[in-house]
Amino acid sequence: MANCSVCGAPTSSTKSVSYPASEFKIIVENGFLPPQTDQTGLDLEAWREKVQQTQEDWLLCADCTARAASYRQKIGKNRSWWLLGAAILTVLLVFVLVRVIQLAPKEKARSLRLHGVAETNFTSLAFSPDGRWLATGVSDHTIVTWDLSNGKLLRTLAGHTQRINSVAISPDGNLIASASNDLDIRLWDPVTGQALKVLSGHTLAVTSLSFSPDGSLLASGSHDQSVKMWDIQSGQILQTLGPFPATVNSLAFSPDGKLLALACADGYVRVWDLQGNQEHFSLQGRQKPMISVAISPDNQTLASGSADSSLSLWDLTTGDQLSALQGHTHIITSLAFSPDSKTLASGSEDGTVRLWDVPTRRFLEVLIGFEEELFPINALGFSPDGSVLAVGSTFDVKLWEIK
C-alpha cells in the first residue's frame, strides 16, 4: 500500500483520495498545510516549492483527505464566483460588441465620387423605377445620371443657372424633373439628356418636387410659400396651393395619390386632400421649421424631420403621433422609407444616416457616423428592391448595401 504524499502515513484503498497536481496546488493556495506545522523545523517555503514543482498526482491518507476537504470546498466557491463574474463580463462584452457593430459604418458601400465628378455638393437624388440608374442634383447647377451596374457617369444635364435643390423621376422612368434656385423646373429625357420643357411660375427658389403615382402630375414646393400642381403633358399649372405661412421645404404624394404632405418652415406638416382640395389635417412638431417629409409605401405612416433634430412618425389616417425617434443632433435633411415600409432611413446635418424599424419604432443602426465622414447628409433614397440605400452628401454619393 502506498504512503500519503503529504504526511507519509499508510493510505487506504477506500478512504484515501488522489488529487491531480493542478487541483492540489489550489488546495494548498487556499491554506492547506501538512500536519507537521504543529512541530518545529518544518520549512514552509520548501513545502510550497515542492507542491509547485510536483507534476504527479497527490495521494492523501484518510486524515489528510478529511482536512483537505474543507479547502477543496473553497475551490468550488471560488470557482462559482469566478464563473458568475465571467458570465457577467461575457454579457457586457457581447453588449458592447453589438453596440459597436450597430454604430460602426458598414463596409459594403460604393462611392460614385470616384467615377468622374469633381468634388462638389450632391444636393438631391432619385432612383430610376427599374433600379438601373440614379439621378443626382449637384450644386454646380447640373444633374448627373449614373449607371449603377458599374458606377460610371452616364450623362450630365446642363441648363439651370443656379443650385439644384431637388430631382425626381417619373414612375415610368421616362422623365427627370429638376428644381433650382433659378426659379425654374426642367423636364429632361434621361436617354438623350435633352431638356424637354421648362416650367416657370414660382417667384422664388423651387425647393422640392414629387411626381404623382400615376405620373400625370408634378407637385413643386417653393420659398414663395406655395405649391404648384403641373400637368406633365401640357406643362401648365393646374392648381396653386397656398400661400402658406412659410416656405414649403419638402413634399410627398401618398401612394394612392389622394394626399400631398408638405413640410413647412413654420413648424407644421400639412397634409392636403387633393380630391377635396382642402387641408386634411396639420401636424405640429416643436415650432421649429419642418425640413423633410416622407410617406410609407403602404400608405400608413408619415415621417417628418425638423430643424431641431426631432424625428417623428405619424399615423397617416388619424394624424396621431406614433413616436418621436431620438438620436440625431442636427437638422434632419432627408427621409426615405424602404419599399416594404418596414425601415425608415433618416439623414442629418450631423453627418449620420440612421436606420429605424418602423413597426417597433426602434433604432437599428448608423450607416455613417465617424469623424472622417461627418459631412452633412443632403439626400436619401432606397432602390426599388430595397437592397441599396443611396446617400448624397458633400463631395460624395455612397451606395450602401442593405440586408
- Summarised one tens digit per residue, pLDDT across range 98-153 is 555 455 544 467 888 645 555 578 999 999 999 999 999 998 899 999 999 998 89
* Cell representation of residue 348: 442629418
- Does 170 lie in the same domain as 99? no
SS3 at position 316: coil
Q: Is residue 3 part of a domain?
A: no
Q: Is residue 219 part of a domain?
A: yes
Domain that holds residue 262: 109-401
For residue 327, what is the domain's CATH number? 2.130.10.10
- Does 351 lie in the same domain as 267? yes
- Does 151 lie in the same domain as 88? no
pLDDT of residue 36: 62
Which residues, including other chains, have CB under 8 Å from residue 43's CB and lie 6 or more apart?
A: none
Cell 401640357: give the residue. Answer: 234
Among 50, 73, 103, identify where a domain stops: 103
- Does 114 lie in the same domain as 91? no
- Does 128 lie in the same domain as 90? no
Angstrom CA distances, 256 to 195, 230, 248, 315, 324, stand at 29, 18, 22, 15, 26
pLDDT of residue 223: 97
How many domains, in total, are found in the chain? 2
Indicate the average pLDDT of the chain: 87
- Does 118 lie in the same domain as 57? no
- Does 220 lie in the same domain as 84? no
Q: How far does the chain reach from its first CA to its final CA, in angstroms?
A: 70
Among 70, 103, 136, identify where a domain stops: 103
- Does 120 lie in the same domain as 159? yes
**At what angle are helices 44-53 and 21-29 packed, to 10 degrees?**
150
Q: Is residue 2 part of a domain?
A: no
359 pLDDT above the threshold of 80: yes
pLDDT of residue 237: 97
- Does 322 lie in the same domain as 180? yes
Cα(4)–Cα(106) distance, integer angstroms? 64
Cα(207)–Cα(248) distance, integer angstroms? 7
Among 88, 103, 118, identify where a domain stops: 103
54: left (phi over 0), alpha (psi -120 to 50) or beta: beta
Mean predicted confidence (pLDDT) in 16-43? 73
Q: What is the largest CA-CA distance in the chain?
A: 114
- Does 92 lie in the same domain as 124? no
- Does 326 lie in the same domain as 258? yes
